[in-house]
Chains A and B, each alone.
Chain A
Amino acid sequence: MTVSTAGMKRDGPMPDDEGEPLLILRNVGKTFSNGVTALADVDLTIRQGDFLSLLGPSGCGKSTVLRLIAGLTTPTSGTLDWRKALGEDCVGFVFQEPTLLPWADVFDNVWLPLRLRGRSRAEAASAVGTLLERVRLTGFEKAMPRELSGGMKMRVSIARALVTKPRLLLMDEPFAALDEITRFRLNDDLLDLWQEQHFTVVFVTHSVFESVFLSSRIAVMAARPGRVFDEIAVETPQPRSEAFRTSPDYAALCRQASDVLLGAINQAPAGARNGGR
């Protein structure tokens, strides 16, 4: 399937390199020391300004792709070809759990990435304040994580990932543990932030509906061994509103994505099932 950015209308000044390849994964494979092949021959291009979702069943190596991109692990084979040099500050990571420091208040948690780069509390205050305002948590600076709801914790986690102004935001099923109402709200917030700040997102999910609502592109992955099965371009223009969630277009796209996902799931793993490819 073709990849297109034609429909991606975004607010604000658009960087010149929008749509240019940022990172190309070529034949990337990962085998763990226990013999499990998590990924085999993954080919994937991440473009500047993309909202790319990695959609697939559990165990298809979605998170491993994310960890490879983050540099938290190295590929066994193949290459990660960075087309734009990203500084150290330029990758943000949001985990499945909020993963906050339980002993630190909201401000300190968001400050953490800047603190690790040697920025004092006073120097970081305005950046932290701005982001907390963006995720609607102004006034909660002194609150401890245990005092917050699941959705609020996740918003703190997103603010923390964005406080260094990363060009690439990696998200590993960040909303999987939240209730549906909270998840919808956070989806909207995330899209707003994405349009406003022009970062690139790689978003791991196992929800067809979430991936269609958020993404400009969906890479459907198959398991055993993990690989990219197919790609779907979602050309619905941004900003996407609540109306999109109930539109026929959305339903059709979900259907299409579901079909591809089913194909990926039913496709027999090599040698494991009769008639497998």
Chain B
Amino acid sequence: MAAVEERRSAALALDPEEARRARGARLERVGRWLLPILIMVAAVWLWDRLCVWNEIPRYILPRPGVVAATLITDRALLFSSLLVTLRITFLSLLLAVFGGVGLAILFTQSKWVEMSFFPFAIVLQVTPIVAIFPLINIYVDNQTAKLLLCSWIVAFFPILSNTTLGLNSVDRNLLDLFRLNGASRWQQLRLLKLPAAMPYFLGGLKIAGGLSLIGAVVAEFVAGASGQSSGLASRIIEAGYRLNAPRLFAALFLISLTGILIFLALSLVSHLALRRWHESALSAER
């Protein structure tokens, strides 16, 4: 597609301004990828140099190469921990989707239900999870359930709030059209409200994806302090106690990478679901 465009612009006799604009657009396409990579490489290089120049011991700040080596040598330990964290993250995201969308649908069935219960959702959201967790720790015995609950509380709110907004932003004329044609509540929900809420839901999902990872890690931190968990966060705590900075950094790297991958995956899902109709997913045609 880009090749076709380039051939077309090459064939066209462009005035200097248009040619400059076309060149600018081409540069921007390359720069969008190249620049962040270059900056990242430079930052890693600088990190490495700082360690060497200042002779920083590896238990304070390990060189990037050491962190990479630790990723390989400690891979069995780190990846099994990563799996534990991932399991909590995805399970809680799944629960957040069902819980958030389910509650949102319930809310839109009746204004009264929404008025009554939405404030509770907000209270749950604004109370720092670190402060709630000791309570959960007392009341819930099962370790997985504990972590899930904690991570779910963090992740479900953006989905609930966005989906509720989406379900409530249906074109009034379309609602009238459905009424005129004698649509049932179920038809109205399935054929009108849910599709209309889709872009809002997907926006919430992208936020919730990151938050469920954060929720899982925070929960592990709190639980890990009492030596009950084996997720990545508890590896970080453990490595901190043992002054094993390379492993700490390696675990941190894995968490970051996971967050980025979750975000990219959900962006892709969102793009695929909306590309045929929603403005946000359309390529700039004009």
Contacts and interface: CB of A to CB of B under 8 A. Distances in A.
B177 interface: yes
A146 B282 contact: yes
B180 A91 contact: yes
**In the complex, which of the residues B191, B196, B278 has the most CB atoms of chain A within 10 Å of its own CB atom?**
B191
Contacts of B181: 112-113, 116-117, 164
Contact of A116 (B171, B187, B198, B278): B187
A17 to B, nearest CB: 24
A91 B171 CA distance: 20
A97 B173 contact: yes
Given A115-B191, A116-B187, A145-B277, A72 B179 contact: yes
B182 A117 contact: yes
Contacts of B278: 102-103
Interface in B220-279: 276-278
A95 interface: yes
B57 interface: no
A177 interface: no
Contact of B182 (A72, A102, A116, A144): A116
Contact of B180 (A93, A97, A145): A93
B173 A88 contact: no
Contacts of A93: 176-177, 180
Nearest to A88: B182
A108 to B, nearest CB: 9
Nearest to A98: B173
A149 interface: no
A127 interface: no
A70 B277 CA distance: 30
Q: Is the interface of B mostly helix, strand, loop or mixed?
A: helix
B19 interface: no
Contacts of B187: 116
A97 B172 CA distance: 11
Contact of B183 (A99, A116, A164): A116
Given A102-B277, A117-B182, A112 B173 contact: no
Chain A interface bracket (under 10, 10 to 19, 20 to 34, 35 or more): 20 to 34
B281 to A, nearest CB: 11
**In the complex, which of the residues B174, B177, B278 has the most CB atoms of chain A within 10 Å of its own CB atom?**
B177
A103 B277 contact: yes
B195 interface: yes
Contact of B173 (A95, A115, A117): A95
A248 to B, nearest CB: 39
B202 to A, nearest CB: 12
Contacts of B192: 101
A97 B181 CA distance: 18
Contacts of B79: none
Contact of A144 (B180, B198, B277): B277
B128 to A, nearest CB: 38
A115 B182 CA distance: 11
B178 A99 contact: no
B125 to A, nearest CB: 29
Interface string A109-131: 00011011100000000000000
Contact of B178 (A70, A116, A145): A116
**In the complex, which of the residues B174, B176, B179, B181 has the most CB atoms of chain A within 10 Å of its own CB atom?**
B181
Given A72-B180, A116-B178, 12 more contacts: A88-B182, A93-B177, A95-B177, A101-B191, A101-B192, A101-B195, A103-B198, A103-B276, A116-B182, A116-B191, A117-B182, A144-B276
Interface of B: 171, 173-174, 176-183, 187, 191-192, 195-196, 198, 276-278, 282
13 contacts: A72-B176, A72-B179, A99-B177, A101-B191, A101-B192, A101-B195, A103-B276, A103-B277, A112-B181, A115-B191, A116-B181, A144-B276, A146-B282
